[in-house]
Chains A and B, each alone.
Chain A
């Protein structure tokens, strides 16, 4: 028997769903979402508690209790103070945490930020070649002869030269009949064509500059960005591998944990990272079989003559037919002129390359600013997908 509460419960869930959707969009729009990481395919988001507002008192920081205690005793502690996660959810109007499927978040991202679909590299990237007999040829072995097509051809020929009307007396038939007789030039043979299946393997190279100025704050930005870029790309490929490269004057491959941790290195030679990665193309990640993405994070400080080398390697080894996308992010640069980004923007002609910059050199960013900049940088790196409204706006405007 359906209960009365069921319909009210459903109404509530509709209300809840609406608020959840709205909040999630807000989260994505102002970039706060990029602070969180998914766990088991879920993202935890704080949404305001659903309530019917009344005029009530705000939370007070004093009260009355009872028990054996003396003046000055500590009777309790804010559990989450100092975590930077906000207050506990006991006061009126505070938020509650809900888990949202990562899939759903990505869907909203597509809608809100218009992130593009990742496409396999055009050209020679394929997993395997399949032979499929879906074509016709004039020559071939008799065993592959296509009888129907051959007879059709013969019929066409005979119709055009009129020989189809000629009657033949065939033994066994009472009346004379018309005959279709293929000759050599009528013969058609089955022919295979090669189909190259586009590869659904991708490898993402995350590389970062390990100079002393890349402190934990910047590493966190790197971490926030690369986690979400990684998540986005993984949406489009079956198999995704990640390689982390860290460099000072020499580059080396490190694991994920080490990559995000602040480590002080010697000088800075950015090109070494690119050289190391390009070496991997030869045996580990053959560009023919792999879609390759490279994201490089730096604070823009490079050794003087190395910018040239960097650009050179980029043009030679990371062209559009080798690498799907190169993204270069410059975080909180020491000096914005003469930085790596500037040089690369000016000199490098790679079409598959995008650069972006987070923060300004003059001052520290507020948290909101940081989130918004990370959002913008991710959009700048991945690009915008097309939207129908945009098309019409362009067409009309």
Chain B
């Protein structure tokens, strides 16, 4: 099939009458080629895209699975499904659309959307597809995830039938808790393929057995009880784990990868860890580019619908759709005093477009001291669109905010920082752009997650895994640290410690020791002492 032809709006790949799904309504079907053509003429470069129309039930099933039709069995999908269903039932939220980062790209629309909603949604989603294809942080993600995830599902189902569903699910529960402890930049490291002939070159150790007198073999079961043997096996496991630790050099964010490579896991266990690791790596860039991704897609649909007059598509007159479009946009971007990533990204990109259109950049602009002159600065360069497309290619959330969140932008879009007072009131603290920028940066740093590093897997020479939280003034959510460390201990099969600070900057150590995996928290001095 000629790909270029398709991108100009050929409806060949439209998901009409596919299973699952409902038939595409005729009026939208007629409009689709037009939207595709407009968006690619606008400058977007998206992969071939399959549009499917789904009922809410179906779309929430797919959304629960993260956009993919087949995943491994786990209750967390059911939890997400229930949440979506309940939210929809009570009218709290609904999903308008879903886009999946694959090639071909899949785009799911909701059948209860109005025609204009669906037109907007298609334009918006094509913006996402364009972003997925071009943004540099997605360069290493697999484009064939639909199949890979389905394969993971098959493999895990096989393990479940071999080892028991409960046992495998429990293991997956533990692995999922550490799925955020990865280093997305590892995606660029060349993959080292290990020798794929499994060879066990460890010295084989036999558990200590208590000796039985000659001719009294029947006593063996009494002396070497199951419990005793289990203890001996545990000792061996610990010794073997300790042997592995010599391999470690330097600190790493990639704790999950370290666990996969070094923890004393069974074959099926390490396979599951590696599968979930892959999935987590696949979704990691999306966490790092939430603002710029949503901003870009909103910017695209804004241009297509409002600026290029597509609001009139399928409506009574050319202008009749614009109000509804504005309403739809308000629902996504609106809200008094609210600050969601959609809104931030959209405003940033609009500001960039305006500045580059008017030439408000470079050293000439930076060093200009004359306020009057700065206000009326317009060199009519018209570089805005080009710049935004460059931004969508090269930036992630943190670099976007670092570079383009200027004091002028902060003032123009009326940002402020608020603080919660003991009375329960949220009061505006200041409008200082530097403080606000620092807050935004700390919020989007590391995908909005605390940066945890593995600094020593053989702490004190005892095989204790020692983690360090890179503290920037925000404390960890205490209730969750315990369970995560517990799971880490179960995987690592040895003690795990996490050093962090509380709100006031006092150093604390969470440690998980003993076989019951009880987590306690001690001040640093006590731990050292």
Whether A39 sits at the interface, judged by CB under 8 Å, is: no
Whether B65 sits at the interface, judged by CB under 8 Å, is: yes
- Identify the stretch in B303-311, B366-374, B387-395, B429-437 within 8 Å (CB) of chain A at 4 or more residues: B429-437
Residues 71-88 of chain A, each 1 if its beta carbon lies under 8 Å from chain B, else 0: 111111110011000000
Which listed residue (B178, B415, B483, B484) contacts A65, Cβ 8 A?
B415
A78 to chain B, nearest CB (A): 4
Assess A68 versus B75: contact at CB under 8 Å? Given A5-B65, A55-B484. no
A338 to chain B, nearest CB (A): 46
A255 to chain B, nearest CB (A): 36
In the complex, chain B residues whose CB is within 8 Å of the CB of A12: 75-79, 81-82
Whether A393 sits at the interface, judged by CB under 8 Å, is: no
Tell me if B337 and A75 are in contact (CB < 8 A).
Answer: yes
Tell me if A54 and B484 are in contact (CB < 8 A).
Answer: yes
Whether B350 sits at the interface, judged by CB under 8 Å, is: no
Tell me if B417 and A56 are in contact (CB < 8 A).
Answer: no
In the complex, chain A residues whose CB is within 8 Å of the CB of B337: 65-67, 69, 75-76
Assess A3 versus B61: contact at CB under 8 Å? Given A11-B75, A11-B78, A69-B428. yes
Q: How far is the CA of A15 from the CA of B76 in the complex (A)?
A: 10
Whether B162 sits at the interface, judged by CB under 8 Å, is: no
Whether B479 sits at the interface, judged by CB under 8 Å, is: yes
In the complex, chain A residues whose CB is within 8 Å of the CB of B339: 63-66
Whether B513 sits at the interface, judged by CB under 8 Å, is: no
Q: How far is the CA of A142 from the CA of B61 in the complex (A)?
A: 80
Assess A52 versus B173: contact at CB under 8 Å? Given A12-B76, A62-B420, A66-B415. yes
Whether A394 sits at the interface, judged by CB under 8 Å, is: no
Whether B338 sits at the interface, judged by CB under 8 Å, is: yes
Tell me if A65 and B418 are in contact (CB < 8 A).
Answer: yes
How many residues on B have C-beta within 8 angstroms of the other chain's C-beta atoms? 63
Assess A8 versus B73: contact at CB under 8 Å? Given A3-B61, A57-B475, A75-B418. yes
CB contacts under 8 Å to A, within B326-340, are 336-339
Q: How far is the CA of A72 from the CA of B416 in the complex (A)?
A: 11
Tell me if B477 and A73 are in contact (CB < 8 A).
Answer: no
Tell me if B78 and A10 are in contact (CB < 8 A).
Answer: yes
Whether A93 sits at the interface, judged by CB under 8 Å, is: yes
Nearest residue (CB) in A for B343 is: A66
Whether A369 sits at the interface, judged by CB under 8 Å, is: no
CB contacts under 8 Å to A, within B40-71, are 61, 64-65, 69-70
Residues 12-26 of chain A, each 1 if its beta carbon lies under 8 Å from chain B, else 0: 111110000000000
Whether B283 sits at the interface, judged by CB under 8 Å, is: no
Whether B120 sits at the interface, judged by CB under 8 Å, is: no
Tell me if A53 and B484 are in contact (CB < 8 A).
Answer: yes
Tell me if B414 and A68 are in contact (CB < 8 A).
Answer: yes
Assess A74 versus B427: contact at CB under 8 Å? Given A65-B337, A66-B415. yes
A81 to chain B, nearest CB (A): 3
Q: How far is the CA of A75 from the CA of B424 in the complex (A)?
A: 11
A326 to chain B, nearest CB (A): 46
Tell me if B74 and A11 are in contact (CB < 8 A).
Answer: yes
Residues 263-304 of chain B, each 1 if its beta carbon lies under 8 Å from chain A, else 0: 000000000000000000000000000000000000000000
Tell me if A64 and B416 are in contact (CB < 8 A).
Answer: yes
In the complex, chain A residues whose CB is within 8 Å of the CB of B483: 53
Which listed residue (A14, A71, A81) contacts B423, Cβ 8 A?
A81
- The interface of chain A, by Cβ under 8 A from chain B, is 3-5, 7-16, 50, 52-78, 81-82, 92-93
9 CB-based A-B contacts, threshold 8 Å: A8-B64, A11-B78, A12-B82, A53-B484, A55-B484, A56-B480, A58-B478, A64-B417, A65-B416
